[in-house]
């Protein structure tokens, strides 16, 4: 397994805490979910939204991915690869079924250090 690829838009490697900014520059790009040792499922990041409330000492943000109608991913931690961000393990939750595929959300909630 290769280490995360350095990206000028992120302040830290993906093995460290992530931020909205780390993903905003990679909206409309493909992330490959590792289904097993041979198969992957391509998801497109369609939205990265800061959800941090005003008086919160930290960061909250949401990532919305779009995938095909088949296969369906149940709620789970999904190991995935991105050509720039490298290896990620994201907890994805299915949030909507559309005519042409499913939407999945990963939500981040972390306190300030």
Give Rg (Cα) of the chain. Answer: 14
Distance CA 40, CA 58 (A): 33
Residue 60 lies in a domain: yes
pLDDT at 16: 45
pLDDT (tens digit, 9 = 90+) per residue, 12-62? 344 445 788 889 989 999 999 999 888 999 999 999 999 988 888 888 899
Helix (H, G, I), strand (E, B) or coil at 71: coil
Q: Write out the two tokens for 17.
A: 């805490």
Residue 14 lies in a domain: no
Fill in the DSSP letter of residue 75: S
Residue 12 lies in a domain: no
Residues of the domain holding 46: 20-111
Report the CATH number that the domain containing residue 107 is assigned in CATH: 2.40.10
Distance CA 48, CA 57 (A): 20
Residue 85 lies in a domain: yes
pLDDT at 2: 41
Q: What is the pTM of this model?
A: 0.81
Query: Could you give the number of structural domains in the chain?
Result: 1
């Amino acid at each position: 397994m290769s280490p995360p690829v350095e990206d000028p838009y992120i302040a830290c490697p993906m093995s460290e805490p992530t931020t909205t900014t780390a993903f905003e520059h990679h909206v409309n790009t493909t992330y490959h979910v590792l289904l097993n040792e041979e198969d992957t499922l391509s998801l497109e990041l369609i939205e990265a939204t800061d959800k941090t409330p005003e008086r919160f000492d930290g960061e909250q943000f949401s990532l919305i991915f779009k995938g095909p109608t088949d296969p369906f991913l149940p709620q789970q931690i999904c190991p995935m690869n991105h050509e720039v961000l490298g290896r990620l393990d994201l907890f994805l939750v299915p949030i909507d079924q559309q005519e042409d595929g499913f939407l999945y959300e990963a939500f981040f909630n972390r306190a300030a250090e």
